[in-house]
Amino acid sequence: MSGHTDMVLVDDDGIRIDGRKADEHRRVHIEAGVLNNADGSAYVEMGKNKVLAAVYGPRECHPRHLQDPTKAIIQCKYNMEAFSVSDRKRPGPDRRSVEISKITAEALEKVVLTELYPRASIDVYIEILQANAGTRCAGLTAASVALADAGIPMRDIIPAIAAGKADGHVLLDLNKEEDNYGQADVPLAIIPSTDEIVLLQMDGDMTREEFDHAVDLAFGACHELYDIQKEALKKRYSAVKGGDEDE
Ligand code: UDP
C-alpha cells in the first residue's frame, strides 16, 4: 500500500486495469466438499486468488490446557504457500499469518454454536494456493462454507470482501496492483442475516465519506457472495443426497 506508481490504475472512463468498474467484484467461484479426508472443505476462487479451506472436528482439544469447559474453541491456521506469490514466500508462520489466523477465528466464533461442544476444538486450515490481494477475505469466505459442509451448527455463514481506494477512486475488491499501489484497503466480513460486522480492518488513509462509501460497496458485495456460498452448499447437498459423492 504505497500509494505511488506510474501505472494508471483507473482510466479516464473509470475502468480499472482488469476491466472492472469501481463497484464490480472479481469473478467468484465456490465449491463445497472438495476434500475426502477432511470433515468439511471448500475451494474458493476470487479473481486470481485460489484458496482451499479444510475443517476437522469438533474433536478433543489438544493441547488440553486450551480446553474451555463451557464451549469449543476454534483454532485457525491461515497459510500462504511458498508458490502462491511471484516472489517465493518463505514457508511457515509469520506475523501476518498469525494475525490473519486470529481475526478469522474471532469472526467464525460469532457464528459457530461453540457452546454445544464444551472442551472440544474445531480446527480450520486455510491454504492460499495463489494470492492476488484479498486472501484473508477469500479465506474466511471459504472457511465458513467448509464449516457448514462439516455439518457444524452455525447461526449463519460469513461472506467477506474488501473495498479500498486507488488512484483517488473508491473501489470494490482491490486486486494486487490496486492493493500494492493504492491508498487504502478495508476488508469487511458480515453476518448477512443481521448485517452484524464480524471483521473490519483498515490499512491506509481515506476520508470519512470515502470510508463509508467503501463499507457500503463491501456490504452489498457480501450479500452477493452469500448467495454464491449458499448455492455451493445446495449443490453439495444435492450431490450427497443423489449419491454422487466421490466416496
Ligand atoms: N503478498 C505477497 N507476499 C506476502 C504477503 C502478501 O506477495 O508475503 C501479496 C499477496 O498477493 C496478497 C497481497 O500482497 O494477497 C495483499 O496482502 P495483504 O497483507 O493486504 O492481505 P490480503 O489482501 O491478501 O488479505
CA distance 192 to 203: 24
Q: Look at residues 211, 220, 214, 170 and name the one whose alpha carbon lies nearest to residue 190.
A: 220
Report the residue among 135, 165, 186, 199 best suited for mutation to probe ligand 1: largest number of ligand atoms under 8 A from its CB. Answer: 135
Which residue owns the Cα nearest ligand 1 atom 9? 133
Q: Where are the domains positioned within the chain?
A: 28-246
pTM, rounded to two decimals: 0.97
- How distant is the alpha carbon of residue 190 from its chain centre? 11
Which residue owns the Cα nearest ligand 1 atom 7? 85
Ligand 1 binding site (Cβ under 6 Å of any ligand atom): 85, 89, 96, 131-136, 176, 179, 185
pLDDT at 50: 98
pLDDT at 5: 75
Report the residue among 48, 81, 85, 97 best suited for mutation to probe ligand 1: largest number of ligand atoms under 8 A from its CB. Answer: 85
Which residue owns the Cα nearest ligand 1 atom 18? 133
Joined together, the cell numbers standing for residue 103 give: 481475526
- The tens-digit pLDDT sequence of the chain (247 residues) is 766 778 899 999 999 999 999 999 999 999 999 999 999 999 999 999 999 999 999 999 989 999 999 999 999 999 999 999 999 999 999 999 999 999 999 999 999 999 999 999 999 999 999 999 999 999 999 999 999 999 999 999 999 999 999 999 999 999 999 999 999 999 999 999 999 999 999 999 999 999 999 999 999 999 999 999 999 999 999 988 887 665 5
The domain 28-246 is classified under which CATH number: 3.40.50.150, 3.30.230.70, 3.30.70.2500, 3.40.190.10?
3.30.230.70
CA distance 98 to 24: 30
Residues 6+ apart with CB under 8 A from 115: 70, 71
Q: Look at residues 123, 71, 82 and name the one whose alpha carbon lies nearest to residue 101.
A: 123
Q: Where are the beta strands (DSSP E) in the chain?
A: 28-32, 40-46, 49-60, 73-80, 120-130, 160-166, 169-172, 184-191, 196-200, 203-204
Joined together, the cell numbers standing for residue 88 give: 517465493
pLDDT at 200: 98
φ, ψ for residue 88 (rounded to 5)? -45, 130
